[in-house]
Amino acid sequence: MAASEIQKVCVKLALDAPGRLNADPVLEIFGRWRAEEGEELMDLADYAHLAEGPLVVLVGHRYNLAIDTTGGRPGIQYCSKKGLAGSPADRFAAVLKATLAKSRRLLAEPGFPPGVRPRPGQLDIVLNDRLSLPNDDEADREIRPALSSSLDLLYGSANYALTRDADSTRRLAYRVEAGAAGLTLDSLLARLA
């Protein structure tokens, strides 16, 4: 698969959360969102009984949105499924923008669990296609320039660390750590506008 064909990209925005996240308010919020016109949302899944992983998933034709605790790191995860266009860097930028926009909206909901705050400088990015993009050096060489280009727009060149998951049995994945001083979801969205 060429980088120019990527569609299945997941971005998880890290959260600071006091204790375990309560899934019930998120289920209520996602239930309202599911009824809205134009988003092509199909289902809502409750996995709050799991110790780790997705707690609540809003399932759509073009994307899924979840509260996820995989790896013991709570976050809001946006996963594109289809509909990305443009250059590989444009595709990554589109998923980053959608993640930030949906996160900002979710965090602003009156019923969202109190005390939860975004960590704008921490992202996990996963390419959700093991067959076409295995977690190896060749796929990394193909993907990294486009991903770095979109992260340069978001954080500024050399203002972040991009680390690939070294476990070749897992999906091609990266962790992004950027200096968080002064970063907000609004300021990051403005950089991608």
What is the average pLDDT across 134-152? Answer: 95
In the chain, what is the greatest distance between 2 CA atoms, to the nearest angstrom? 45
Q: What does the alpha-carbon distance between residue 80 and residue 64 come to, in Å, rounded to a whole number?
A: 7
* CA distances (Å), origin 45, targets 51, 55, 62, 69, 158: 15, 8, 16, 15, 39
Range in 76-90, 137-151, 175-189 the model is least confident about: 175-189
* pLDDT the model gives residue 1: 54
b/e per residue 14-23 (b: at least 16 CB within 10 A): bbebeeebbb
- Please, which pLDDT band fits residue 93 given cuts at 50, 70 and 90? very high
Instruction: Check whether 115 has a pLDDT greater than 60.
Output: yes
Query: Tens digit of pLDDT for each residue in 154-188?
Result: 999 989 999 999 999 999 999 999 986 789 999 99
* pLDDT the model gives residue 184: 95
Instruction: Check whether 97 has a pLDDT greater than 80.
Output: yes
DSSP per-residue letters across 7-18:
--EEEEEEEE-S
* CA distances (Å), origin 57, targets 76, 113, 176, 185: 10, 16, 23, 21
Query: Tens digit of pLDDT for each residue in 38-57?
Result: 888 999 999 988 888 899 99
Average pLDDT along the chain: 93
Q: What does the alpha-carbon distance between residue 76 and residue 65 come to, in Å, rounded to a whole number?
A: 7
Which one-letter amino acid corresponds to residue 110? P
* pLDDT the model gives residue 39: 85
Share of the chain above pLDDT 70, in %: 98
DSSP3 helix / strand / coil % (the chain, rounded to 5): 35, 30, 35
Question: Whose CA is closest to 65, among 85, 89, 41?
Answer: 41
* CA distances (Å), origin 154, targets 4, 9, 101, 157, 184: 20, 17, 13, 9, 11
Instruction: Check whether 27 has a pLDDT greater than 60.
Output: yes
Which one-letter amino acid corresponds to residue 105? R
Two tokens, residue 148: 């770095």
